[in-house]
Structure 1
Amino acid sequence: MGSATVLWFAAVVALCILALRGDGPALILVVAAMAGGQVLSSLLKSAFDRARPDLIRGGPAVFDASFPSGHAMMSLVTYLTLATVLARDEPRRSLKSVYLAAAAILTLSVGASRVLLGVHWPTDVLGGWCAGIAWVSLCLLAALAWKPRERTAAPA
């Protein structure tokens, strides 16, 4: 659930829905969050260049740096951004909670799987989540600041 293929498939489905709704700002937010998140993940991996754990013999062969976990970071960025976009226009609080809970469960599952597979240290996953939360927060703040303010009529 955290591979680039699955994440981009989920995003493309959401982008198609947003395009059909005519929600250009949300579409831009999703693309910017995911593309920027991928760039940030790559930059952080290059900067830290941490070796992966070598705990499980015959485990998956992975060749890039370990910190932060790109799967953990990008699953958080993707699922939290999509949940936020879906929850934004949802009038029912119960459905907003479902969107956010699903994003949290998927993100936690991906992070746990990275440690259980032996391809990341727990701190790699925590670092990915922290970087992902920071990036999504920046994207959402930028989207709020960019949103045109509603004009109210001046009193006559």
Structure 2
Amino acid sequence: MTPSQTRRYFGIGLVAALIGAFGLVAEDVVEGETKTFDDAVLMSLRVPGHPEQPIGPNWLPEAVRDITSLGSYSVLTIFVLLVAGHLLLVRRRGTALLVVLSVVSGSIISTVLKTVFDRPRPALTGVAEVFTASFPSGHSLTSAVTFLTIGAVLASTTESMRQRIFYVGSAIVLTLMVGLTRIYLGVHYPTDVFAGWCLGSAWALGCFIIGNALARSRHLGDTTASLTSGRIV
């Protein structure tokens, strides 16, 4: 087995594990088994006797709201358009399409799952305005899909291990920050965020694996055609 095959099978196994973790959490949420844990975590982040007020200095909630906006649809759309535009300029149309399709399909999955589970939001007010159901966290899911897809694409453009670690590490940190802010603001339960992370990561990784497989197939096809016609690429 070649190293590339090993990485591919490992990636597929990781996708399966992440989807499995999402399924287990979803089952526990539906059965109400996570309520005690979810409530305990949320209340540990609130001022005693004032559930509408997060712990910490007065400036912290505002700073957290700024960070959590990185996972909003409007901000993520700007990220995706900029990255896709860059990829088109450097003639990587297939990669640009992969990024756009990955993020758009992930957003659709998030919306559908929210409708299916229809979990009420935490009963905390005064921190942030929300309009959709709670499970899974849309910010966590779509930010994972967006940042991890972009991080993986950037990592694939270099042979430097340090740069690859930086790109993927930055994507992971941004994803974690967005999810944690949702819990701090009290607009999502911890299990909403964890489920969003799992499914979003699985979706990003799955799309990247498929994109790589298609690119490899196309490259092999072009090489075979060139050899058959007597040309060298």
Alignment-derived partner of residue 147 in structure 2 = 79
> What residue identity is the alignment partner of 2:81?
V
Aligned partners of 1:33, 1:104: CA distance in 2, in Å? 17
SS in 2 for 1:36: helix
Count of equivalent residues: 153
Paired position in structure 2 for 1:99: 167
Q: Structure 1 unaligned runs (5+)?
A: none
Q: How far 1:31 moved relative to its partner?
A: 0.6
**Length-normalised TM-score, structure 1:** 0.93
| Contact 2:114–2:136 under 8 Å retained in 1 | yes
CA distance in 2, matches of 1:137, 1:66: 24
Q: Does 1:131 align with 2:199?
A: yes
Larger Rg: 2
Displacement of 1:137 in angstroms is: 2.4
Please give the TM-score of this superposition, normalised by the length of structure 2.
0.63
Query: 2:138 aligned with 1:70, yes or no?
Result: yes
1:19 Cα deviation after fit: 0.7
Offset of 1:145 from its aligned partner? Answer: 2.6
Unmatched runs of 5 consecutive residues or more in structure 2: 1-69, 229-233
State the AA in 1 paired with 2:101. Answer: A
Between the aligned partners of 1:83 and 1:96, the Cα distance in structure 2 is 8
| Corresponding position: 1:15 with 2:84 | yes
Q: Residue deviations 1:45-93, cap 9 Å, x none?
A: 01110011013x3122212100000000111100000011111011211
Match of 2:157 in 1: 89
Alpha-carbon deviation of 1:144?
2.3
In structure 1, how many angstroms separate the alpha carbons of the residues matched to 2:127 and 2:157?
43
